[in-house]
Amino acid sequence: MESAIAKAIQLKYQPVALIWSDEKPADAMQFAEGKWGCVMWLIVHAAKGKPAVADRQTFGCFGGGVGLGFGNQYVNFPGGEEGFCHFLSSGNASRKSGIEIAEKVKPFMTQESYDHFLHGERYIQSPALVEKFIRSLPLTETPSTYVVFRPLSDIDPDGEKPQTVIFFVNPDQLSALTVLANYGRGDHDNVTIPYAAGCQSVGIYPYREAQSNRPRAVVGLTDLSARVYVRKQLGDPHLMTFSVPFFLYEEMEQNVSGSFLECATWQSLLYE
């Protein structure tokens, strides 16, 4: 499946198709069961041209399980959902049994994760507000065994349909895709930027949008931790994700021809 959008905006990395499937590509990258990893690494792998996959035992981290649509995996976090609520906010060090739990899981954590477990990532003000945040998430139970990431160019347009198409974009390309998402709509609310983990902004939020009669694109990589991981993988400090439910992707593809993408203003940004 070739992308007119990718060509028009001169995308550096391949668009990534997120697919629900009961079959796993034979050569797909996959985390070992129980091994920590960031879902964004799987997506980067696909953007570089190779497939990657996750299932309910190999989603890398509990947040990744949530983000890909494997239910509320926060209940399985060390110390349960309460442990996660403290992890994302003020930390578990002052919580009853917090230090004891931390010592039990320390051998399975990076030093950074261990420090965050004790002292908090401080991304949300309090554990109570983290609980409220969890309740507001569009938690999803994917109907398939696997969530597969593949280069969009590997997808047969007459075969399987992606759930979501993910672009890694710089600020100019992000601007262009925002314009294009609104181009054929006649209004102005067709792109959203939720406060979300990097995996949530490519997974459960686009899943929710796909259920709408007028699905919106979802901008991501506002997750600071995910930005660190992606920068290490791609070496570019300016990238964001732009995730598009497939219905909207097809609409945007059809609107490339004759649009601003063929005009001088956009061309001047391409060639500066």
pLDDT band at residue 112 using 50, 70 and 90 as cut-offs: confident
pLDDT (mean) for 129-146: 97
pLDDT (mean) for 58-76: 96
Q: Could you say which DSSP state residue 32 is in?
A: P
Sequence-separated contacts (24+) of 108-111 with Cβ below 8 Å: 108/34, 108/36, 109/36, 110/36
pLDDT, residue 96, reads: 85
**pLDDT tens digits for range 169-222:** 999 999 999 999 999 999 999 999 999 999 999 999 999 999 999 999 999 999
Structure tokens that stand for 89 in this block? 């906010």
Residue 108 has pLDDT above 80, yes or no: no
pLDDT (mean) for 70-85: 95
Residues found in the chain: 272
pTM passes above 0.85: yes
What does the alpha-carbon distance between residue 211 and residue 220 come to, in Å, rounded to a whole number?
Answer: 19
Instruction: Calculate the CA 171 to chain-centre distance.
Output: 18
Structure tokens that stand for 126 in this block? 């309090």
**pLDDT tens digits for range 212-250:** 999 999 999 999 999 999 999 999 999 999 999 999 999
Place of tokens 């049994």: 97
